[in-house]
Amino acid sequence: MESFISGIGWVSKESMGYNGCIKKFDQNTRLPQIKRDDILRHPYKHFGRMDNFSKLGFAGIVFAMKDAAIIESGKIESETINPEKKNISMIASTVTGCLETDLAFQETMLRPLPSPSVFAYTLDSSFLGEASIYLGLTGESFVINEEKPDGLKGLFMALEIIDSGASDIVLCGMCNSDIKTNNTDFCSNTPGSIFFVLQKECLHSYGVIQSNSMESYYYQNDIKINTLYDLAQKCTNRKKL
């Protein structure tokens, strides 16, 4: 199975954005507080309601879509609830999930009225729903809870979807919070989000990713890939052709 990589978008402690439009952070020890105007030009009330985990994933997806030129490389022009529909699937891998939001909702349960706005984001897949609505994506979408933050299971499933013909375009990536609580010190090794746009065919790409099993992934035929961050580095070193 193989696919072209046409877009990459990310949010990390050091930077966020996509090729040609990167915002860098100096000596940032925590993930950035993502603002609506970092990715969207006009007000979008749903973005303001999102928890931090959902904003991480939503931003990574939008950045990747811009890099692939599936949406405008500037910023989305308007608050579009029903844009032109696109058969694009999404797969996100996570280690932390939305545990940070789950804990926040648990605290509100001590009040007479638990918070419905926090409850809305107590599913790992909430941000995929937000992205589907905002971008008009109609393909299948789901989250995989992985034991280690490499994102390769999701990558394999994305390649399977393209190979099956269910969707010609698939977004796949990782989204992890930087979690610290009073009861645990659970942090992923790579907090933030990174998403790739995989396409069956495209004119301009970073190259081809291939896999024949869940244990072997190769970029440009012979470069072995061990994590999605490893893949991103190889792609950005090569740049888009």
* pLDDT on residue 76: 46
The residue ranking higher by pLDDT, 48 or 4, is 4
**What are the backbone dihedrals phi and psi of residue 162, each rounded to the nearest 5 degrees, phi first?**
-65, -40
- What value does the mean pLDDT take over residues 146-154? 86
Lowest-confidence segment of 2-6, 8-12, 179-183 by average pLDDT: 179-183
Check whether 102 has a pLDDT greater than 60.
no
Using only C-alpha atoms, the chain has a radius of gyration, in whole angstroms, of 17
Q: Indicate the helix (H) or strand (E) that contains 169.
A: strand 169-176
Those residues with Cβ within 8 angstroms of residue 56's Cβ, 6 or more apart along the chain or in another chain: 11, 31, 34, 127, 175, 176, 177, 192, 193
Structure tokens, 134: 């905002």
Q: What is the mean pLDDT of residues 118-134?
A: 81
Q: What percentage of residues in the chain have a pLDDT greater than 90?
A: 54
The predicted pLDDT at position 68 comes to 95
Q: What integer pLDDT is reported at residue 184 of this predicted model?
A: 46
Task: Give the pLDDT of residue 47.
Answer: 86
pLDDT over threshold 70, residue 131: yes
User: What mean pLDDT comes out for the span 9-18?
Assistant: 95
Q: What angle do CA 70, 92, 37 make, to 5 degrees?
A: 55
What is the structure's pLDDT at 207? 94
CATH of the domain at 45: 3.40.47.10
pLDDT of residue 182: 46
H helix intervals, 44-110 = 45-49, 52-67, 99-108
Task: Name which of 24-38, 52-66, 213-227 the model is least confident about.
Answer: 24-38
Higher-confidence position of 109 and 223:
223
Q: What percent of the chain has pLDDT over 70?
A: 81
Nearest-angstrom CA–CA distance, 93 and 72: 26
User: Which residue range(s) make up the domain with 183?
Assistant: 2-238
- Number of structural domains, the chain? 1
Q: Mean pLDDT across the chain, nearest whole number?
A: 84
- Residue 72, classified by CB atoms within 10 Å of its CB into exposed (0-12), middle (13-18) or buried (19+), is exposed
Q: Where are the alpha helices (DSSP H) in 50-98?
A: 52-67
Q: What is the DSSP string of 184-213?
A: -----SS-EEEEEEEESS-SS-S-EEEEEE
The model's confidence at residue 49, banded by pLDDT at 50, 70 and 90, is: confident
Contacts of residue 188, Cβ cutoff 8 Å, sequence gap at least 6: 95, 96, 149, 176, 177, 178, 179
For the segment 190-209, what is each residue's pLDDT rounded down to a tens digit? 789 999 999 999 989 999 99
